Chains A and B, each alone.
Chain A
């Protein structure tokens, strides 16, 4: 029982991180129907910034905020420089372009920070655990869940309650109409990419914490959030958050309960498990849990 609780919490923390990553994909997709393959590199950029800022002696909280803003700015810059000129071109072309942006960023990060693996600094001892009902929960996992939940709540408040949120949804719904209403669509795109960058950095920081670490492969983890995007329904923010959390929990439970029974074959089975779920979804329910059902008057 305590084992189950322990696994659930660590699954929840992984799931929250997946949800943050997936949300970054979704906000960009919804605004511009572009799938941003460079998102993983935003993640590692954020994590490396965090490592460097802490190493430079800044307090942890300020480092985190700065890393998030820097990554957001990187996102906005990529949008402005690379994607804005692509408006009106086929979306397919734009998506290919993001793959190359990702490759360039990955190399740049490699050049700037080098190949060595680093530990992510934490304001608490990274090995701190809480004892709850006989299970020992990592402080890092609990913090990831809390921070992720706060970020997600802030995001939904922004989208529902603010002018920018309404503009973002208007742009996502019908770009030309948004333009005709006087919404500066270009600036809304930039804001979208900025937000995606903020989430990416936050996810990157918590993803880099013990028991994991920060290296240039961190970016590839973003692709492991990919099933969450599909299962949630490509254009539903709520859906991806839910799917991200569920898949994170499933992955860790699979690691804890299924892997050990399959011997050699079971090694790292958990890593492909979310993809199995994704493929099942693509077969049975291709629009995902909460993907768009067309609004239609009858």
Chain B
């Protein structure tokens, strides 16, 4: 459904952030994109949703195809209207709007009546939000804001959802709720691209995963396979081969990585 091929992105005409990334999200699947800070995960999402412009970024090579149609270079609102919605990193609820208005802002691409119907569906699914309907969104708790951000993205009736670090800054129990929600959405047939640093959570809900480091995909495969992989276990799940973390090796790895980049 989403095919990113050989994507190269440059910021401010000099900073090469993605160095030929290839990524595929088949229809109805959940794919996780893992990687450390600054690897280019968010940039990859921006390239897909047309938000590179405002960050002075350009796609210099490669293509992004959604449902077989090229989306690179199209305007952000056209892309969302085409069935691709995203939840940005850090939730980004519109703090001074009410919960209901936040949701309505997500339904711009729908005619008014359908937006109203969609609003009711959102309140059915997210009971906490229904209770806080008229409340200012900035005063919701972190978990509620994340739910609101996801609900808002779903308002445009997307066929595919891009999630950027939905677990960021949430309590472990709330992370569990978010993971559960993602699984439910996936079971309903939504295609999902999940960008995460919380690898354990991401691998538990995804069917496939790719690991992005320094703008390149360094590993990819079925989630179960990656979760069992020695290196992934050590560097992303924090588990050593024998269940104990060998800090000397972690350090060595980091030093080596810095040299490589």
Interface residues of A (CB under 8 A from B): 87-88, 163, 166-167, 169-170, 173-185, 295-297
Write out the residue numbers on chain A whose beta carbons fall within 8 Å of the beta carbon of B86.
180
Q: Are A163 and B104 in contact (CB under 8 A)?
A: yes
Write out the residue numbers on chain B whose beta carbons fall within 8 Å of the beta carbon of A179.
50-51, 54, 76-77
Q: Are A177 and B77 in contact (CB under 8 A)?
A: no
Q: Does B198 belong to the interface (CB within 8 Å)? A: no
Min CB–CB distance B139 → chain A (angstroms): 6
Pull 11 A–B residue pairs with CB atoms less than 8 Å apart, ordered by A: A88-B54, A88-B56, A173-B94, A179-B54, A181-B106, A181-B152, A182-B106, A182-B109, A183-B105, A184-B75, A295-B136
A28 to B131, CA, bound (A): 34
Q: Does B43 belong to the interface (CB within 8 Å)? A: no
A177 to B93, CA, bound (A): 8
Write out the residue numbers on chain A whose beta carbons fall within 8 Å of the beta carbon of B152.
181
A175 to B156, CA, bound (A): 18
Q: Are A170 and B105 in contact (CB under 8 A)?
A: yes
Min CB–CB distance A29 → chain B (angstroms): 15
- Within residues 52 to 71 of chain B, which ones have a CB less than 8 A from any CB in chain A? 53-54, 56
Write out the residue numbers on chain A whose beta carbons fall within 8 Å of the beta carbon of B79.
182
Among B79, B105, B106, B109, the one with the most A-chain Cβ atoms within 10 Å of its Cβ is B105
Q: Are B96 and A169 in contact (CB under 8 A)?
A: yes
Q: Among B50, B97, B138, point to the contact of A166 (Cβ < 8 A).
A: B97
Min CB–CB distance B214 → chain A (angstroms): 25
A179 to B75, CA, bound (A): 9
Q: Are B54 and A182 in contact (CB under 8 A)?
A: no
Q: How large is the interface on B (under 10, 10 to 19, 20 to 34, 35 or more residues)?
A: 35 or more
Q: Are B76 and A180 in contact (CB under 8 A)?
A: yes
Q: Are A180 and B51 in contact (CB under 8 A)?
A: yes
Q: Are B101 and A297 in contact (CB under 8 A)?
A: no
Write out the residue numbers on chain A whose beta carbons fall within 8 Å of the beta carbon of B80.
180-182
Q: Does B49 belong to the interface (CB within 8 Å)? A: yes
Q: Does B17 belong to the interface (CB within 8 Å)? A: no
Q: Are B108 and A177 in contact (CB under 8 A)?
A: no
Q: Are B92 and A176 in contact (CB under 8 A)?
A: yes
Write out the residue numbers on chain A whose beta carbons fall within 8 Å of the beta carbon of B134.
none
A169 to B88, CA, bound (A): 18
Q: Does B254 belong to the interface (CB within 8 Å)? A: no
Q: Among A163, A176, A181, point to the contact of B115 (Cβ < 8 A).
A: A163
Write out the residue numbers on chain A whose beta carbons fall within 8 Å of the beta carbon of B76.
179-180, 182
Chain B 151-171, CB within 8 Å of chain A: the 1/0 string?
A: 011001000000000000000
Main secondary structure of the interface of A (DSSP, over half): helix
A295 to B98, CA, bound (A): 12
A185 to B78, CA, bound (A): 12
Q: Among A167, A169, A177, point to the contact of B92 (Cβ < 8 A).
A: A177
Nearest residue (CB) in A for B106 is A181
Q: Are A169 and B97 in contact (CB under 8 A)?
A: yes
Write out the residue numbers on chain B whose beta carbons fall within 8 Å of the beta carbon of A173.
94-97
Q: Are A184 and B96 in contact (CB under 8 A)?
A: no
Q: Does B37 belong to the interface (CB within 8 Å)? A: no
Nearest residue (CB) in B for A169 is B97
Q: Are A176 and B88 in contact (CB under 8 A)?
A: yes
Among B75, B76, B101, B115, the one with the most A-chain Cβ atoms within 10 Å of its Cβ is B76
A296 to B141, CA, bound (A): 11
Nearest residue (CB) in B for A184 is B77
Q: Does B28 belong to the interface (CB within 8 Å)? A: no
A174 to B92, CA, bound (A): 8
A179 to B95, CA, bound (A): 16
Write out the residue numbers on chain A whose beta carbons fall within 8 Å of the beta carbon of B142.
297
A58 to B108, CA, bound (A): 39
Write out the residue numbers on chain A whose beta carbons fall within 8 Å of the beta carbon of B156.
181-182
Chain B 27-58, CB within 8 Å of chain A: the 1/0 string?
A: 00000000000000000000001110110100
Min CB–CB distance B119 → chain A (angstroms): 12
Q: Are B77 and A176 in contact (CB under 8 A)?
A: no
Q: Does B81 belong to the interface (CB within 8 Å)? A: yes
Write out the residue numbers on chain A whose beta carbons fall within 8 Å of the beta carbon of B138.
295-297
Nearest residue (CB) in A for B81 is A182
Q: Are B49 and A180 in contact (CB under 8 A)?
A: yes
Q: Are B54 and A166 in contact (CB under 8 A)?
A: no
Q: Are B51 and A170 in contact (CB under 8 A)?
A: no
A158 to B19, CA, bound (A): 46
A163 to B109, CA, bound (A): 10
Min CB–CB distance A4 → chain B (angstroms): 39
Q: Are B94 and A183 in contact (CB under 8 A)?
A: no
Nearest residue (CB) in B for A183 is B108
